[in-house]
Amino acid sequence: MWGIIATWRMALEGVSGAARMLVEGESAGDAVEAAVRKVEDFPYYKSVGFGGLPNAEGDVELDAGFMDGDTLAFGSVGALKDFANPVSIARALSQTTANCVLMGEGAEKYAARQGFERKTMLTDRARIRYMNRLKTDGGTAIHTDLKPYAGHDTVGMVCLDAKGTIASATSTSGLFMKRPGRIGDSPICGAGLYADSCRGGATVTGLGEDCMRGCISYEVVRLMGEGLRPQEACEQAVAALDEKLRRVRGSAGDLSIVAMNAQGAWGAATNIDGFSFVVATEELAPVVYVAERQGSHTVYQPATKAWLDEYMTARTAPVELI
């Protein structure tokens, strides 16, 4: 059995390509890296890779992580500027025995030494959104109460190949107008992603600071290891962290998680409405689902054609200076 599950509609083309690779017997690591690169390269997604929204100083700083569930090898980069495919740098780092989590300048030096492609990641569209935001915020660049904005779409994927290897990967530009140097959950092992080929993998999208507080990807894998089905594990972990955050902090940020176990069964849970995700397995052609919270449960259905059309129309609409 092979399978792949990923956060947000944006993953569809990458997941479809990965599914073809998995049919051909390629590895989970190769498939998930190729799938995430596809999202990073698409300029209309404003929260991953090329076209990602900048930080408070107008610089695009990218976070990405990669984990191999056979060996627990983990690599990540944070606040990385001017490289085309952070996920590939994270994967290369996962193959080193130490120094495998690098941030900022150190990550850039490593990427340059390894010959990764340099690229200016700020697009005209992203620059216009930044200028507009400065205007609507009266020129205040630094925010202390950043929230994920509508259309905040960190890509996270969990992939199982026919040999039983699970790999997970993430990539994001993080929160729009974040402080320079801010790292979210996406490059943090156990928070943004986790993979263990004996139990399963999970990856999350949402408010990074809150995702980290619950080490939520690890928690879902841990629950699957105790025998919970992926759907139960996702729902239980999201409901527990959401409840705890509300109780001890007064509010909970967005938390949306997807998971797949070692048998290729999958699940998803969210504490918001309108969380989309993509799944493909040996038995299921790539499909986009749209999920919503119902109490402590999550329900989802395949996206309608109208929903899919509107998604792309919104992302590719012209952006103008205000």
Q: Which residues are catalytic, by number?
A: 154
- If the CB atoms of residues 60 and 175 are measured against ligand SD4, the closer one turns out to be 175
Query: Sign of torsion, CA 189 147 254 246?
Result: positive
For residue 164, the minimal CB distance to ligand SD4 (Å) is 28
Report the nearest approach of ligand SD4 to the CB of residue 167 (Å).
Answer: 19
Residues that bind ligand SD4 (CB under 6 A): 47, 148, 152-154, 172, 174-175, 184-186, 205-208, 211
Q: What order of strands is seen across the sheet that includes strand 73-80?
A: 101-103, 73-80, 62-68, 166-172, 155-160, 3-7, 273-281, 284-294, 297-302
The burial class, CB within 10 Å (0-12 / 13-18 / 19+), for 139 is: exposed
Buried b (16+ CB within 10 A) or exposed e, 261-271: bbebbbbbbbb
> For residues 207 and 260, which CB has a smaller minimum distance to ligand SD4 in the complex?
207
186 or 276: CB nearest ligand SD4: 186
Kindly state the smallest distance separating residue 85's Cβ from ligand SD4, in Å.
Answer: 18
Closest contact distance (angstroms) between CB of 191 and ligand SD4 is 9
User: Cβ of residue 71: shortest distance to ligand SD4, in angstroms?
Assistant: 25
For 255-315, the three-class secondary structure string (H helix, E strand, C coil) is EEEEEEECCCCEEEEECCEEEEEEEEECCEEEEEEEEEEECCEEEEEECCHHHHHHHHHHH
Nearer to ligand SD4, 200 or 208 (CB): 208
Q: With respect to ligand SD4, which residue has the nearer C-beta, 46 or 222?
A: 46
DSSP-assigned letter for residue 118: B
Q: Between residues 165 and 205, which has the closer beta carbon with respect to ligand SD4?
A: 205
Q: How many whole angstroms separate alpha carbon 83 and alpha carbon 89?
A: 9
Number of DSSP helices (H) and strands (E) in the chain, helices first: 9, 13
Minimum CB–partner distance for residue 145 and ligand SD4 (Å):
14
